[in-house]
Amino acid sequence: MDHANMGWWEADMKSEVYYCSEFIAKLLELGDDGMISFTDFNKRVLKENLRHSHTTLFEKVQMTDDAVYLLSTSKGTVWVRSKVCYYETDESGNTKVYGISEVEDHADNASIYKALQDSERILNNIYNNIPIGIELYDKDGYMIDLNRKDMEMFYISAKEDIIGINLFDNPLFPEEMKWKLKNHEEVDFTFRYDFSKLNGYYINHCNKGTIDLTTKATALYDDEEILTNYLLINVDKTENTVAYNKIQKFKSFFDLVGDYAKVGYAHFDALSRDGYALKSWYKNVGEREGTPLPEIIGVHAHFHPEDRAVILSFLDKVVRGTASKLCRDVRILREDEHYTWTRINVLVRNYRPEDNIIEMLCINYDITELKETERMLINAKERAEESDRLKSAFLANMSHEIRTPLNAIVGFSSLLQETNDPEEKRQYINIVEENNKLLLQLISDILDLSKIESGTFEMCPVKVDARQLCTDLVNSLRIKTEENVELCLSPYLPELYFTSDKNRLHQVLMNFVTNAIKFTSEGSITVGYEIEGNDVKFYVKDTGMGIAPQKQKDIFKRFVKLNNFIPGTGLGLSICQSIAAQLGGELGVESEPGKGSCFWFIHPLI
């Protein structure tokens, strides 16, 4: 058992304690006694999202015969499959449950087991509630089970009253039917079932009356074509209309479930391509309901070409007997020309090519939302990684940018104490003041960046006079220009009033002009604007050194400086770009080395 990754356990229902074999005890890191309480064990059980679950495996001695769950162990999180073997109750009424547990090597196996359990529960529910009678006999014709409808139909109070009777002893079944069944032929017939002629064949609480019964009987075989059972399906034709309505209601409910869960089902033959499918199946493959399956199977007109090639190859392998199942996520082209995602599961149910029969089942479901969630998670991960990288780069640049002016301030402040020359003192004071301004500007830019990234960057829209804005800007910055540089306003500016955040707009234009002043040693700097349809385009033209084409795309990035010998933080244009986005506009640059630059900002007027 250890080599098979298996172990045994004993559950004492009175003391609510498990006693485990050495394999399980090691897995759970238990003591030498291999003992663990129900409560402590249940704390180890996890849900599929790896959160702890409070699932109680035992509830008044009720447990599924086979359960699959995630378990937190010394080896990490593993899938475990547990199976109850038998119960034992002593003279004092204390019950003990004995079972085995197996560690699954792959989560896929556990998922398959779990899916099978769910399917078994669904089928069992259908078996017990379907509005037709079902009887199951062993290979010798002795009854081993029947469903509720069958008990109701034949007035049977308890299964014990009928289990064990022989099919071939039924006095009401035609002899021809019995003969055909014994020769392994399918039987389908309608007859009048007269309760008064049972002659004690089984115990029921109705000794008279008749029902018009339709019965279908067939033999069942295992994978080696050996007879294992006989199956009988009974329909009371006297209640045919009621039964039909119930079936229709059940079908509608099943369709509703399929539509709600986006799960579809189809059953078809791989050779003739004919079969049956639910409405939701058609929808999941992009086809109209009721379209003949031969026009879909093997054609797959709405599948992405890559996925269609895979499906066609699989169907070819099925016919040749080299493949029996396929699970794949495929892209489906919709009427609006966009793709959605569908997961298809196809398997061969009955492979008899010698009889021209290759029955196949297909279950599909729409996973577009799942794929979208997956895409969003990947994008979020990439953004988080990029954000982490940018923060590291930001901190590194900040350390350098802050240290540079601080070193100058501290250094020249110390020199002020050591010199008595008035001219030197004046030079040192000028240097300290210049670096103070640089440090203050850096801190101001950092605060703006922080507000932008945290979403607290507020906009205060007011009525703006474009001509007055540019005039005030030129007048305030003219004193900062060199003697050989003329800062002027573009002539013939049209009158323009619009709504915007005046301070932020001024900040963008002032940054453009300040940069132009830094990189223009002679010539002119012109500030202006022009109306272009529903937008206004502000611009600042200069005759400075210009910007190389390969560097123009990088100047709006953080801490990018074209000349490290010219004062500046390298954050101004990055902040301007963020402000432009907040105002619903865009900015850019046109430049030629040696001939100057033109920075522009387009602002919507509507």
Measured between alpha carbons, how far is residue 137 from residues 126, 233, 586 in Å?
Answer: 19, 12, 79
CATH number of the domain to which 530 belongs: 3.30.565.10
Whether the CB-CB separation of 268 and 298 falls below 8 Å is answered with: no
Domain presence at residue 456: no
CATH number of the domain to which 82 belongs: 3.30.450.20
**Rounded mean pLDDT for each run of 10 residues along the chain, 606 residues in total:** 84 92 88 91 71 39 62 81 87 90 67 66 80 90 90 87 90 87 86 84 80 88 87 81 66 72 86 88 88 90 92 92 92 90 92 90 89 88 78 64 72 79 82 75 67 67 92 86 89 92 86 87 93 93 88 72 55 80 88 91 89
Measured between alpha carbons, how far is residue 117 from residues 50, 111, 551 in Å?
Answer: 20, 10, 63
DSSP 336-387: TS-EEEEEEEEEEEEEEGGGTEEEEEEEEEE-HHHHHHHHHHHHHHHHHHHH
Q: How far apart are CA 270 and CA 268, in angstroms?
A: 6
Domain presence at residue 414: yes
Are 232 and 267 contained in the same domain? no
Q: How far apart are CA 133 and CA 147, in angstroms?
A: 6
Q: Name the residue range of residue 322's domain.
A: 262-366
Q: Could you tell me how far CA 66 lies from the centroid of its own chain?
A: 29
Per-residue pLDDT at 568: 52
Per-residue pLDDT at 201: 87
Per-residue pLDDT at 374: 87
Token representation of residue 364 = 């599909």
Domain presence at residue 251: no
- Count of CA atoms in the C-beta half-sphere (13 A) of 488: 10
Domain presence at residue 215: yes
* Residue of 181, 169, 174, 171 whose CA lies nearest to 139: 181
What is the 8-class DSSP label of residue 197? G
Per-residue pLDDT at 399: 64
Are 341 and 277 contained in the same domain? yes
Domain count, the chain: 5
Domain presence at residue 123: no
Three-state DSSP state, 328: strand
pTM of this prediction exceeds 0.85: no
Amino acid identity at 521: S
Per-residue pLDDT at 529: 95
Per-residue pLDDT at 413: 81
The torsion region of residue 93 among left (phi > 0), alpha (psi -120 to 50) and beta comes to left
Are 467 and 600 contained in the same domain? yes
Per-residue pLDDT at 46: 79
- Asked whether the CA dihedral 549, 555, 559, 561 is positive or negative, the reply is positive
Q: What angle do CA 469, 475, 480 make, to 5 degrees?
A: 125
Are 202 and 76 contained in the same domain? no
Three-state DSSP state, 335: coil
Are 492 and 564 contained in the same domain? yes
Per-residue pLDDT at 129: 83
Final residue of a domain: which of 366, 394, 415?
A: 366
Domain presence at residue 242: yes
Mode of pairing for the β-strands spanning 95-104 and 210-221: unpaired
Per-residue pLDDT at 342: 92
